[in-house]
Amino acid sequence: MVNLQKHSVENIKWVNNQIEKLESISLRMSDFINSGNYDLVENLDKLRKKIIFDIQKKNLALINEQKESVVKLVAINTDLVCSLKKKKNKELKKIAHKKKCQIAYFENI
Protein backbone atom coordinates (compact mmCIF):
# COMPACT_ATOMS: atom_id res chain seq x y z
CA MET A 1 0.00 0.00 0.00
CA VAL A 2 1.24 3.48 -0.88
CA ASN A 3 1.96 5.72 2.09
CA LEU A 4 1.25 9.30 1.01
CA GLN A 5 2.82 12.20 2.87
CA LYS A 6 0.43 14.73 4.35
CA HIS A 7 -0.17 18.33 3.32
CA SER A 8 2.55 20.12 5.24
CA VAL A 9 3.25 23.75 4.40
CA GLU A 10 6.71 22.75 3.19
CA ASN A 11 5.34 20.10 0.85
CA ILE A 12 2.68 22.44 -0.55
CA LYS A 13 5.29 25.15 -1.22
CA TRP A 14 7.64 22.62 -2.84
CA VAL A 15 4.92 21.27 -5.13
CA ASN A 16 3.78 24.79 -6.03
CA ASN A 17 7.39 25.67 -6.88
CA GLN A 18 7.65 22.58 -9.10
CA ILE A 19 4.38 23.53 -10.82
CA GLU A 20 5.75 27.02 -11.49
CA LYS A 21 8.85 25.43 -13.03
CA LEU A 22 6.65 23.23 -15.23
CA GLU A 23 4.68 26.29 -16.37
CA SER A 24 7.88 28.13 -17.21
CA ILE A 25 9.20 25.13 -19.12
CA SER A 26 5.94 24.87 -21.07
CA LEU A 27 6.16 28.50 -22.13
CA ARG A 28 9.79 28.13 -23.19
CA MET A 29 9.02 24.92 -25.07
CA SER A 30 6.27 26.71 -26.97
CA ASP A 31 8.58 29.59 -27.84
CA PHE A 32 11.35 27.24 -28.98
CA ILE A 33 8.96 25.20 -31.13
CA ASN A 34 7.70 28.36 -32.81
CA SER A 35 11.27 29.53 -33.45
CA GLY A 36 12.47 26.12 -34.67
CA ASN A 37 14.94 25.36 -31.85
CA TYR A 38 14.01 21.70 -31.63
CA ASP A 39 17.08 20.53 -29.73
CA LEU A 40 16.27 22.91 -26.90
CA VAL A 41 12.70 21.60 -26.80
CA GLU A 42 13.93 18.04 -26.36
CA ASN A 43 16.17 19.12 -23.47
CA LEU A 44 13.30 20.97 -21.81
CA ASP A 45 11.05 17.95 -22.28
CA LYS A 46 13.59 15.79 -20.43
CA LEU A 47 13.70 18.36 -17.64
CA ARG A 48 9.91 18.44 -17.51
CA LYS A 49 9.75 14.66 -17.22
CA LYS A 50 12.32 14.74 -14.41
CA ILE A 51 10.28 17.29 -12.44
CA ILE A 52 7.15 15.17 -12.82
CA PHE A 53 9.11 12.09 -11.77
CA ASP A 54 10.42 13.95 -8.70
CA ILE A 55 6.88 14.91 -7.71
CA GLN A 56 5.80 11.29 -8.04
CA LYS A 57 8.90 10.04 -6.24
CA LYS A 58 8.22 12.23 -3.19
CA ASN A 59 4.88 10.47 -2.98
CA LEU A 60 3.04 13.58 -1.84
CA ALA A 61 -0.71 13.82 -1.42
CA LEU A 62 -1.48 16.70 -3.77
CA ILE A 63 -4.33 19.06 -3.12
CA ASN A 64 -6.97 19.21 -5.88
CA GLU A 65 -5.74 22.54 -7.24
CA GLN A 66 -2.21 21.13 -7.62
CA LYS A 67 -3.51 17.95 -9.27
CA GLU A 68 -5.45 19.99 -11.82
CA SER A 69 -2.43 22.17 -12.57
CA VAL A 70 -0.14 19.20 -13.08
CA VAL A 71 -2.66 17.40 -15.30
CA LYS A 72 -3.18 20.54 -17.43
CA LEU A 73 0.56 21.09 -17.78
CA VAL A 74 1.16 17.48 -18.77
CA ALA A 75 -1.61 17.74 -21.39
CA ILE A 76 -0.19 21.02 -22.74
CA ASN A 77 3.31 19.59 -22.90
CA THR A 78 2.06 16.46 -24.64
CA ASP A 79 0.43 18.69 -27.26
CA LEU A 80 3.65 20.68 -27.60
CA VAL A 81 5.73 17.56 -28.13
CA CYS A 82 3.23 16.26 -30.72
CA SER A 83 3.39 19.61 -32.47
CA LEU A 84 7.17 19.40 -32.45
CA LYS A 85 7.12 15.93 -33.99
CA LYS A 86 4.74 17.07 -36.72
CA LYS A 87 6.98 20.05 -37.56
CA LYS A 88 10.07 17.84 -37.60
CA ASN A 89 8.36 15.34 -39.91
CA LYS A 90 7.26 18.16 -42.20
CA GLU A 91 10.83 19.50 -42.39
CA LEU A 92 12.24 16.03 -42.98
CA LYS A 93 9.79 15.48 -45.84
CA LYS A 94 10.90 18.78 -47.40
CA ILE A 95 14.54 17.73 -47.11
CA ALA A 96 13.80 14.31 -48.60
CA HIS A 97 11.94 15.94 -51.50
CA LYS A 98 14.85 18.34 -52.17
CA LYS A 99 17.25 15.41 -52.07
CA LYS A 100 15.18 13.49 -54.64
CA CYS A 101 15.07 16.55 -56.88
CA GLN A 102 18.84 17.01 -56.66
CA ILE A 103 19.48 13.34 -57.42
CA ALA A 104 17.17 13.51 -60.45
CA TYR A 105 18.89 16.70 -61.62
CA PHE A 106 22.36 15.17 -61.36
CA GLU A 107 21.23 12.02 -63.17
CA ASN A 108 20.10 14.14 -66.11
CA ILE A 109 23.31 16.12 -66.42
pLDDT, residue 64, reads 67
CB-CB contact of 58 with 108 (8 Å): no
Residue stretches of the chain with pLDDT short of 50:
1-4
Output the average pLDDT for the chain.
80
* DSSP bridge partners of 5: 60
- Confirm whether 49 is domain-assigned: yes
Distance CA 45, CA 41 (A): 6
Domain enclosing residue 29, as ranges: 9-108
What is the tens place of the pLDDT at every residue in 78-101?
A: 777 787 788 888 888 999 999 888
Distance CA 28, CA 42 (A): 11
pLDDT, residue 73, reads 78
Task: Return phi, psi of residue 5, to 5°.
Answer: -75, 150
- Confirm whether 4 is domain-assigned: no
pTM of the model: 0.63
Query: What one-letter code names the amino acid at 76?
Result: I
Instruction: Check which CATH number belongs to the domain holding 26 and give it.
Output: 1.20.58
- Confirm whether 1 is domain-assigned: no
CB-CB contact of 25 with 48 (8 Å): yes
As for how many domains the chain has, the answer is: 1
- Confirm whether 2 is domain-assigned: no
Distance CA 67, CA 5 (A): 15
